Structure 1
């Protein structure tokens, strides 16, 4: 990843965090469901953007799949 990609990645990650928080609040702030809200937010943001967020999600999946092979 080069330096100019980082700000977009950070913006997308922040958008996902913000959306997860919104979902959590809408559900009445339940405990123990962090992963559920993060996953839902990631899916919804990726679906809404269908571009850079999609690419970010795919890169994260690739990074996770190659992490053990180094």
Structure 2
């Protein structure tokens, strides 16, 4: 999935992201706007993960959902 497709599908993906990372607020998800890097940053911030760990989680989540 390329960057534009990910952004285009973001409204459908938000619910799945909220289930995976329950500590993310609706405002967090609105701010992310489908950007992988922004999602990594929010996961890192909310959960106190290292950047590498947050990237791994986001990439695993995307693969799990074929996004």
Q: Give the TM interval when normalised to the shorter protein.
A: 0.3 to 0.5
Larger radius of gyration: 1
Which TM-score applies when normalising by structure 1?
A: 0.35
Q: Could you tell me the TM-score, scaled by structure 2's length?
A: 0.36
